[in-house]
Structure 1
Amino acid sequence: FADLNLGAPPVAWRSFSQWNADRSRKIMVLVAVRERDELAQDIAEQMIEPGLWLLPVVALALGLALRRGLKPLYALSDDVAALDPAADQRLASQNAWKEFESVEASINTLLDRQQAAMARERRLANEVAHELRTPLSSIALQASALGGELAPEAQAQALDRIRQDALRAGHVLNQLLALARASRAELDGATASVDLAALARTACAEYAQAAWQRGDELEVSAPDALLVRGHPVLLDLLLRNLIENALKHTPARTRIAVQMGEGGGEHGAWLQVCDDGARAVAVGDVVAAAPVAVDSLHLGHEIVARVAQVHRARFGKAPAPAPFTTCYRLDFARESLLTAG
């Protein structure tokens, strides 16, 4: 290939030359550069012109197709935006696209969980308000009575009632703070090695005075060490709530035992608090069940359930070993158990 300028005035030509086998003859083909450029331009225009006419049509058709294809997604988005999490609503399937069925099922599952959580929180708020209203109203009533003329004995009784009601309200508020702490811990992944046996011995030692004043027996049955991975503060809170519930909601002279050990199978460790508060007692010549205080709020077990959920453990009432009548048990997963050493 070569570019040649031939003639006068010179004209630009593009040439291709080729010798024969013995190089005795040479063939040369020439084409004017202007004609070649015009031919190339004509070919390009013939190819581009239909495309320029078809491009708007193709763009319009593609836009309509995308709009039609995304219409079910827009409808689903509008349905989700119109949902009220506070109301008992579910996402109704209104399209025939099978690809959206799993999305709708996931949204409905999330709605069910959200509505169940909100219902549980509303119930808890109502119970807390009712539980606090009684002691606060009693405090206000007794304080008003103290403003009048009361005998010294009546004043002492009013002050004692105010003290008891204040302690009761403070206990409810402390449990609410503990419940909030357990809920916040679900967002915190920091865990450590916790010795459940040491926690149990420390907690029982601190409640020993309260148990002695009621005539209760408080004991710990645990190995030298039982290590699990978890939140030390929350597990201590769990133990104290179980022990405190056993002390507060059983009659006097109750036997309370904190028991724990390593489980088998899928459970790595277990912990339970048992008592004989529902035992039969003799009243004169009649044998009847011992009176048990009723916990109307159930915040203690709600706190324990939250802590168990944080640690992926299973909590619930379990068959009580003799001579106990009531037992609440916590089973940890196998991966939570740590080896001492």
Structure 2
Amino acid sequence: MLTHVVFLLKRRAAAQSWQRALIALLLGAMVFATDGFGAAALDANNAVTLRGADAFKVLVGNTLRSVGDSKLIPTFRYFMTERLEYRCRGWDPSAVTRKDIKLYGEAGGCELVVVSLKEGRLCESHQYEQCQDHELKLTFARRSDPTKAADGEAVGLVTLPGTDGTVTALIDHDLIKGKYELIKGNGTIFPSFDPVPKPELLQPDTLPSSLLTQDSARTPRSAGLSDAEATSRIVGNTMVLLGRDGKPDGRAGEYYSPDGRIVVISIPAPTEGADLAHPSAEGAGSIFINRWKVENGGLCRTENDEPTKFICAVSACVEVPEPPGDHAAPRYCAGNSGIGSHAYIAKGNPFRFDFGKSKRK
């Protein structure tokens, strides 16, 4: 009898050991690989709570889409990298016609926020760095196999609990807590891009040959470009915004995509060392989209406040640098561009905007 009891105890211990091993295997699969997902995520009936680095790995490279009010455009939070998040706030489209919803969504844009994980807490920079009071925690319930999901597909439900924010907090805690669908990859209508400043952004386009051949004594301070020349010089290239010191920092500009979109971007810099007493002048960055077209030979574009209205006769000119012989730094001005005269044109798409990684085109 004693032998039988010992045998049963051994069997029970073995079964418990096997169960513990299975749970460890399932939880281990949630310590996500580089694409954010393991090979055997849990299903909706077996939701798992993750903390700290394991929770952060679920977010990086993927998108949270808020769920709740079907009448509202949801909030999107795309953690593009371990350092940068798109924060696209939800809004009420009731005053907008259905065909214009996307245009208004593009013009509304998203904040770009510097994020990091420190001691398991989610930290964000917006004039100064602030971390959540508690360790990052989320509950994930799988709906489909994340390893087989295509970009843009909802793979599960994420629940983020509320945090104990303070009155002085710059982080919008209402935006952090709640239920979200987890979208694989970039689930926004905005392009992915390379946030690292590129040398091409610091290389202005050359001056028009008509100005280069003029005698320096007779070279005008600025010269207007014809509609055709303005269009050919701007479309397919990037207007680079100069900083407060009059110099480019490689983080702000607007790209005139050949497909008719104008991607306007300002990439934020980390506010390291800034605090409540000495905040940085640097706020969150932003990304939004305007549109351009050519009408009667002239370049027309939309603006944020009226995304369906094209403003035509967009004038463009070039300001000759002083001294005139210094052809390395021409300054361009484009009327109605939102950039003003403190900019220059850089060739191509140095930010590497890629709409192919956005599944809500």
TM-score by length of 1: 0.26
More strand by share: 2
- More RCO (CA 8 Å, sep 6+): 2
TM-score normalized by structure 2? 0.25
